Structures are given as structure tokens and as C-alpha cells.
């Protein structure tokens, strides 16, 4: 199975998602989108496939979101995509593409639904949270 992750190595959620993919036995194609942003048409395609709006993909924390006044509803979808192209840090991450679909994997265990082998065994996130194979997204009991 081919998996692609739009990844930011400085992001804990992105690192956890990548580790879960690898723990499933897959080695994904890694796109460090801050260094190599997707072309505009690819970004539009990813947004459409996820079934979300460009606004839903905007990252607010540690970005120029406030300074650019992006909360203002005056901005069209095309405008927001223009901002993401000019400032890739505004693209929320990680986005994972697999034959099972495309998702913004926040929280990181969202990726389990995109893997060929979703039962990856027990996984411990960087923050110490244990993801149980029987109850993804919950602490192990």
C-alpha cells in the first residue's frame, strides 16, 4: 500500500502519525511540506478529497493567522488557498493520503483508519499517552 504524509518534523502530532504508520509496517513517502509545499492544484485536490473547506485546513497556532486577519469571513476559499501557498505554515498537518482515503490526522490516531493494518499494537505517543490496539484513541487499561 502506498501512503504519503505531508509532514512537519517539528510537530509532535506529525511525528506521532509518522511513527504509527511505520509501526503498521509501512514506509510512507514523506513530503516535508514547509520545504516542498504541494502545488496549488494538489492542495485544492487534497482539500476536496478530505471533504473540508480551506478554512478548516488553516492552522492558527504559531502561524501568521492572526497577523493576516484570516478569521475575517471576507476571505474567499481562493484567498485562503493563496495565503496557504504564500505561507505553507498555515496548512494544518499532518495530511495523510492512502488508498483508504485522505485525512487531516489530528489527533494522530486518526491515521489508523487509513492503514492496511490498523491494529498496530500498543503505541505510546511522545506525550506519554498510550493508544490501546483494542480501543484506539483511549488510554490502555
Average pLDDT per consecutive 10 residues, the chain (141 residues; last block may be shorter)? 94 97 96 97 98 98 97 98 98 97 97 93 93 56 34
Residues 6+ apart with CB under 8 A from 122: 130, 131, 132, 133, 140
Total length of the chain: 141
Q: Is 12 helix (H, G, I), strand (E, B) or coil?
A: helix
Q: Which of 139, 121, 23, 40 is nearest to 85 (CA)?
A: 40
d(CA 100, CA 108): 16
Backbone angles phi, psi at 9, to 5 degrees: -65, -15
Number of H helices, E strands in the chain: 4, 6
d(CA 46, CA 9): 20
Asked whether the beta carbons of 96 and 105 are under 8 A apart, the reply is: yes
| Angle CA 5–90–100, to nearest 5 | 30
Return the pLDDT at 91: 98
Task: Tell me which residues are annotated as active site.
Answer: 11
Return the pLDDT at 94: 98
pTM, two decimals, is 0.91
Domain locations in the chain as residue ranges: 4-131
Return the pLDDT at 136: 45
4-131 CATH pick, 3.40.50.11540, 3.40.30.10, 3.40.50.920, 3.30.420.40: 3.40.30.10
Asked whether the beta carbons of 44 and 20 are under 8 A apart, the reply is: no
d(CA 9, CA 127): 16
Return the pLDDT at 126: 94
Amino acid at each position: 500500500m502506498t501512503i504519503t504524509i505531508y509532514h512537519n518534523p517539528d510537530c509532535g502530532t506529525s511525528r506521532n502519525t509518522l511513527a504509527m504508520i511505520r509501526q503498521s509496517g509501512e514506509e510512507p513517502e514523506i513530503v516535508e511540506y514547509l520545504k516542498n509545499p504541494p502545488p496549488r492544484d494538489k492542495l485544492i485536490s487534497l482539500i476536496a478529497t478530505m471533504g473540508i473547506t480551506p478554512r478548516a485546513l488553516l492552522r492558527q497556532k504559531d502561524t501568521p493567522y492572526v497577523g493576516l486577519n484570516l478569521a475575517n469571513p471576507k476571505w474567499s476559499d481562493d484567498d485562503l488557498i493563496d495565503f496557504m501557498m504564500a505561507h505553507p505554515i498555515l496548512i494544518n498537518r499532518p495530511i495523510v493520503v492512502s488508498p483508504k482515503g485522505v485525512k487531516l490526522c489530528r489527533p494522530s490516531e486518526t491515521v489508523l483508519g487509513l492503514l492496511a493494518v490498523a491494529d498496530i499494537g500498543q503505541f505510546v505517543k511522545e506525550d506519554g499517552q498510550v493508544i490501546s490496539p483494542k480501543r484506539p484513541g483511549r488510554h490502555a487499561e
